[in-house]
Amino acid sequence: MMYTLGDEETTQDPASPGPVKSAEPLIRWFIKGREDHIHPDTNKVVPNAISLGDLKENGLSIDRLNYATPESVKNRIGQQVENALKKVPDAQYFPQIAKFKCSDVRHLQDDAGERAFVVIDKLDPNNLENVAHASIFSALKRTPSELRGIRLKLIEFFNSRFSFEDMFPAVNTDAETTNSAVTSEAKECN
């Protein structure tokens, strides 16, 4: 579905807490140890960690930090780690969370000076109880080449990451869920 700038101003999902405000902090998690998320040498998010299909049609999943619970974020990270362990059972994975402002995403422009993205209060149909969920979409219909260009701009916000414990310091983590992700390496994400 294609969303427009006007869609940011109205509630897109009746269960959401309302449209995403520009001042809101947003989060997105990545799994260090998955080379399709974070490059092992540079520690930077790799472009393919963000699907062009998500930017074009499905929406890039993010959470609104003001509405996110540590438990819901931990569960979603745990699911990703569990899925990764099915592919490479003996690997070590370290969840990392990028925090950025909605206004920063909304200010990004493509090479023609057009707005790059819209941020929509679209809940995840597979997890409707997570009212913190929102999505980032391309603001315009774009070619794959153009989507790759704006994706590179968006990824810059994801290269400063925190451990789960640093993002949610009052929460005790379960090492089994995060595959022993609580290490000094995970806390020093960059």
Q: What is the mean pLDDT of each run of 10 residues along the chain (190 residues)?
A: 90 93 95 84 92 94 95 89 86 90 98 97 86 96 97 96 89 46 37
CB 56 within 8 A of CB 157: no
CA distance 15 to 28: 21
Question: pTM of the predicted model, to two decimals?
Answer: 0.86
Q: Give the torsion through C-alpha atoms of 78, 56, 5, 37, to 10 deg.
A: 40
Name residue 30's beta-bridge partners.
96
Token pair, residue 186, equals 């995970």
Q: What is the DSSP letter of 54?
A: I
The pLDDT value given to residue 2: 85
CA distance 59 to 121: 10
Q: What is the DSSP letter of 46?
A: P
CA distance 165 to 171: 7
